[in-house]
Structure 1
Amino acid sequence: MQFTKWHGLGNDFVIVNGMEEQIADYQQQAIAVCDRNFGIGADGLVMLLPSDIADFKMRIFNSDGSEADMCGNATRCVARYLYENKLTAKTVITLDTLAGIITPELIFKNGTLATVKVDMGLPRLKRGEIPISGNPEEQVISMPLAIDGETYHITCVSMGNPHCLIFVNDITKVDLALIGPKIETHTLFPKKTNVEFLQIIDRKTIRMRVWERGAGITKACGTGASAALVAAVLNGCTDRQATVKLDGGDLYLEWAANNHIYKSGPAVEVFRGNYLL
């Protein structure tokens, strides 16, 4: 199986052209491929497939085999992969995902790719849209949640996938490996959730660490960064444009007047090769 390995701020993916490569079981292949000791090593396997409603279909499988609705970092990598491998001549590409149509744009300066900008779509704030148990019409903004005797104030947002965001004064004191999975699998979240801890640096800067649903601690999360800006604005912490600083680097986010979230950041190819099935 031919593959290429990419990352967006250290959030890494194995991308496979499913229009040429045949895989019988995506879930089991993702588990094998993403293993960092016995496989290629990645946070997820990304399959590119034909679509009747967009330029391409993008399916994303986490390292545990579960399928993700969307991934912002993977989207940037896929856009650059498609363009540089001449699978499309477009610089604005439509991708069919479980979260709907996502539109990445390759931004060039003086003939060189400067960044990949992704229209992440509309944030969804109602419990029923996220989903989170309770009144489906309510929003969850700074709601107390008790875990192991400690109370966290959570804000919940969907960017096509669920996010639980928690503001802290010192992010270095958060034991993400301990608390992340407990919130991810809490009964409040019927489809589990991504978990982000946020420290506000100033009105235009957020520090974020993430526990991803199905993948664990990752260096970056594009949908999480998008949700972070929404949560920060809803809680009166930042302006509608901000830099989100992740373990793997920085993403620039804007919650625009049309209510869409726009995210810009890098996408880097690491290597390519043949995986021996």
Structure 2
Amino acid sequence: MPGTVTFTKGHGTGNDFVIVADPNGALSLTDDQVAALCDRRFGIGADGILRVVRAAAIDEGASAAAAGAEWFMDYRNADGSKAEMCGNGIRVFAHYLAESGLAEVDTAGIPIGTRAGVKHVARVPNGFEADLGAWTVDEDAPTVRARGLSVARPGLGVDVGNPHVVVALPGEDELEALELTYKPVLDPEPEAGANVEFVVPAEPLVQEGVGVIRMRVFERGVGETLSCGTGVAAAALAVRHWAGAGAPDIWRVDVPGGTLGVRMVSRGDEMHVLLSGPAVLVFSGDVALA
């Protein structure tokens, strides 16, 4: 275990990450070390860590390597827990690969391994776009209690490689009143937990053929974040589901950290959801590991 590691700080619409390059899988970060690096007062500060490792160099990447993905995104939440996927993180990950010369990421894109399978990421005019794959909707989802809401609200379960519960709110006032320094209570609580999105539709919902919504999110293992890429996709899918037949397949989602695009496309016999938006690398440095 080295005494120091080189890192880069990056973000996607304010959802921020510590990026650590470990191509050969030599680095093993403990949960406590991840939490210390992500600490906003005593560490670098981030919502999570992206370890850049070759798929063939990590046991969890074996299937990704067999599928032709050279790189695996080992994503850890700010508390050190492992996560299946991160929609903002994978765009930042792809940007780091391109900027560091580890891979070429163009409009044709590249495959990247994750714990939720191999995802394809391509360069697009507004940054990078990640194909998150197929999704599932579960109407038998938990009810959600949150500080600032007078009563529990029904949720819609949406899985886009990681679990989400989406709650519809009638207006901006309730969205603003939420106190998400407190973890929302899910009843029943899913065994693996879930990210919770609170969403308000624009008026009108569809503008020039594009669905428009606003969202806030509480991420498991992190807390409220300025943005959550998979949460953005889940929120758009939930509102599309509620809107029913005739709902658009292109969405604009406004989050506290900016704006992201979501679209649903046919891939053979499946429908896939794609997430697009900016990815920014802020600074690099070296940090001591405790």
- Which residue matches 2:240? 233
Q: Name which of 129, 144, 160 aligns with 1:117.
A: 129
Per mean C-alpha deviation after superposition, the further-off stretch among 49-58 and 22-31 is 22-31
Contact 1:2 1:21 in 2 (8 A): no
- Contact persistence 1:198–1:228 (CA under 8 A): yes
Identify which of 10, 13, 19 aligns with 2:17.
13
User: Is 1:209 paired with 2:216?
Assistant: yes
Distance across 2 between alignment mates of 1:225 and 1:217: 13
Q: Indicate how the Cα distance of structure 1 residues 37 and 20 shifts in structure 2: closer, same or farther if over 3 A, else same.
A: farther
Structure 1: distance between partners of 2:28 and 2:121 = 29
Aligned to 1:131: none
Q: Which residue pairs with 2:262 in the alignment?
A: 253
User: Match of 1:145, as an amino acid?
Assistant: T
Question: Who is 1:106 aligned against?
Answer: 123
Q: Which amino acid in structure 2 is aligned with residue 61 of structure 1?
A: R
Q: How far apart, in 1, do the equivalents of 2:133 and 2:212 lie?
A: 21
State the alpha-carbon separation in 1 of the partners of residues 104 and 278 from structure 2: 19
- Cα shift at 1:144: 7.2
Which residues of structure 1 form unaligned runs of 5+? 109-113, 126-138
Maintained 8 Å contact 1:55/1:93: no
CA distance in 2, matches of 1:146, 1:89: 43
CA distance in 1, matches of 2:222, 2:190: 17
Q: 2:32 aligns to what?
A: 28
Structure 1 runs, 4 residues or longer, greater than 3 Å off: 146-149
Structure 2 residue runs without a partner (length 5+): 56-64
Instruction: Select the residue among 73, 90, 108 that pairs with 1:75.
Output: 90
Task: Confirm or deny that 1:244 pairs with 2:259.
Answer: no
Instruction: Verify the 8 A CA contact 2:166 2:197 in the aligned structure 1.
Output: yes
Partner of 1:128: none
Counterpart residue type for residue 95 of structure 1: I
**How far does residue 18 in structure 1 lie from its aligned partner after superposition?**
1.1
Provide the secondary structure at the position in 2 that maps to 1:76.
Answer: helix
> Is 2:190 the partner of 1:181?
no
Residues 274 and 163 from structure 1, CA distance in 2 versus in 1: closer, same or farther, beyond 3 angstroms? same
CA distance in 2 between partners of 1:151 and 1:211 (Å): 16
* 1:145–1:154 contact (8 Å) kept in structure 2: yes
Deviation digits for residues 199-252 of structure 1 (CA, Å, limit 9, x no counterpart): 000221110000001000000000001111110111017522110000000001
The structure 2 residue matched to 1:262, chosen from 262, 274, 286, is 274
| Pair 1:93–1:144, CA change in 2 (3 A) | closer
1:191 aligns with 2:224: no
Residue correspondences, number: 255
Contact preservation (8 Å) 1:76, 1:116: yes
Question: Is the Cα–Cα contact under 8 Å of residues 94 and 103 in structure 1 kept in the other structure?
Answer: yes
Aligned to 2:151: 150
**Alpha-carbon distance in 2 for matches of 1:147, 1:117:** 33
Partners in 2 of 1:105 and 1:39 — Cα distance? 32
2:113 counterpart (71, 96, 104) = 96
Deviation at 1:154, TM superposition (A): 0.8
Equivalent residue for 2:61?
none
TM-score of the superposition, structure 2-length normalised? 0.83
Note the aligned Cα RMSD (angstroms). Answer: 1.9
Identity of aligned residues (%): 35
Q: What amino acid is the match of 1:263?
A: L
User: More deviation in 205-214 or 115-124?
Assistant: 115-124
Q: CA deviation at 1:37?
A: 0.8
Contact 1:229-1:255 within 8 A present in 2 as well: no
